[in-house]
A and B are shown apart, each in its own frame.
Chain A
Amino acid sequence: MRAFRRSIDVTPGLGRSFVAMGDGLTAAISISRAAVGPPSFFRQVGAILWKDLAVELRTKDILSSMLVFGLIVLVIFNFAFELRGENLILVAPGVLWVAFVFAGILGLGRSMAQEKERSSMEGLLLCPVDRGAIFVAKMLGNLIFIVILEAITLPIFAAFFNLPVLTPGVGLIVVLGTLGFASVGTLFAAIAINTRAREVMLPILLFPIIVPVIIASVKATAFVLDGKPWAEIWPWVNLLIAFDVIFLAVCFVTFEYVIGE
């Protein structure tokens, strides 16, 4: 019976009425007029996501800090590496991704800190919501913020270094790379926020795990810029896809263990 209920728990929105055969719940439903039937998984994801986007739209807290930081990274790297002429095409993809990842980590940390500051994560945990839905919503929010950051940074990068990065190929790689980065990042941000030295914990946890994402994204971007045939680029894109699929699943499943005390 226990296993049966658990299995229902992971398929949100489906078959919950079966559980209603349990004695406690029949009573529970008869007494609660206000809450009729559980809202679906996706409606709850939508509600949380809408809330995050609305708050960000008003404060621009996360986006502005990420954007400024990303630009600073680009400029600093320009001085550090003499980004001109010969070595440009070799170094530029790395610079681009370092800017994305550093700024992204900043955003991941901020968005989780917002939930923590006024204990609003506890408010979410009070709700009858799948922990997986909270993960999906948070992850999508982070993904959207980081992709917006990237969409603004890319043209600036193209102008700064006179590189043709505004192509569908680069766009695909950016989105795939960011998806993997954002899913693991969302999970780890939820962990780091409750540890000592939380600011440094997030990069320490995240960087080693996303090494494959960084390698694959940088390589694939470099190959695209270099005009290499797609046959050479595909292995990297496939690697990104594999990472995304595996870690979306792993993070979705494990998220419930990292929230709440």
Chain B
Amino acid sequence: MIGAQGFKGKSIQASLLAKSFGSIHALREVNLEVGAGEKVAIFGPNGSGKTTLIKVMATIMRPSSGRLHIAGMNPGENGHDVRRLIGVVSHNTYLYDDLAVEENLAFYGRMYGVENVKARITNGLRRVGLERRSRDRVRTLSRGMQQRLSIARATLHEPPILLLDEPDTGLDEAGQAQLWEMLTSGYADEPTVVMTTHNLKLGMSLCSRWTVLVDGEIVSEVAKENSSSESFQALYRRYAGAGT
């Protein structure tokens, strides 16, 4: 069984999460609950704290205060177990320029202790359309290809929770259309997804819950079935305009 059905509770529970850098308050009192298998989109203007929120949930940034539970576990105590459940795609690709495509994946495979690495690498590369380039150095790939590889990297260990920070960065039209396919085609059960993007259309079509983050606070949360994309876009513009 793959997928998030295994947990009884929520995949992500964040309450009163705050993060400040010196005197800059990137996040203030964020409350967010994401159920197993749920897909949540986070929209917000530049500097509103989206990346910070994703990094805190991905356990690579410590929150200044507040509580965070991933699959019922506290990352501060069960860091390893939490991290094994998470895959992150962001505008940083986390790839090594001077290693070949397959070497990058092999490295992460070893770090996660993935079994059958060879087969999984081949699979992953096929999913993102890079099987022909497996011997090339990452340096020689275009930006969009690197983003594709980054998707293969993040899903190599088949994490039930995907945290995506502008995963569409650099992807061409076909790539954006296939984004979901590339991310989740290896899964038997739907993974939990939290994603940020500046592409409202894309985010709205992929996710079933739409939230707006402004100035480090979630100011609006809308379920897909309760709203039309037009009215949400209008709502978003109001917030985004006021936020900056």
Q: Which residues of A contact B (CB under 8 A)?
A: 2, 5-6, 9, 16, 19, 22-25, 27-28, 30-39, 43-44, 46-48, 50-51, 54-55, 58-59, 118-120, 122-130, 260-261
Q: Which residue of chain A has its CB nearest to the CB of B110?
A: A47
Known: A24-B72, A38-B80. A126 touches B113 (CB 8 A): no
Task: Determine whether the beta carbon of A118 is less than 8 Å from that of B97.
Answer: yes
B91 (CB) vs chain A CBs: closest residue: A119
Binary flags per residue of B85-118, CB closer than 8 Å to A gives 1, else 0: 1101000111111110001000110111111000
Give the Cβ gap from A38 to chain B, nearest Cβ, in Å.
Answer: 6
Which of A46, A58, A123 sits near B94, CB closer than 8 Å? A123
**B157 touches which of A2, A19, A27, A32 (Cβ 8 Å):** A32
Q: Is the CB of B60 within 8 A of A31?
A: no
B3 at the interface (CB under 8 A from A): yes
A3 to chain B, nearest CB (A): 10
- Which of B5-13, B195-203, B230-238 is the interface stretch? B5-13
User: Closest approach, in angstroms, between the C-beta of B100 and any C-beta of chain A?
Assistant: 9
Cβ–Cβ < 8 Å partners of A127 in chain B: 83, 108, 111-112
Which B residues fall within an 8 A CB radius of A?
Answer: 1-8, 21, 55, 58-62, 71-73, 77-81, 83-86, 88, 92-99, 103, 107-108, 110-115, 120, 156-160
B111 touches A24 (CB 8 A): no
Does more than half of chain A's interface fall in helix, strand or loop, or is it mixed?
helix
Between A2, A16, A39, A130, the greatest number of chain B beta carbons within 10 A of the residue's beta carbon is seen for: A39
Q: A32-B158, A34-B157 are in contact. Are A24 and B108 (CB under 8 A)?
A: no
- Cβ-neighbour of B111 out of A6, A25, A47, A122 (below 8 A): A47
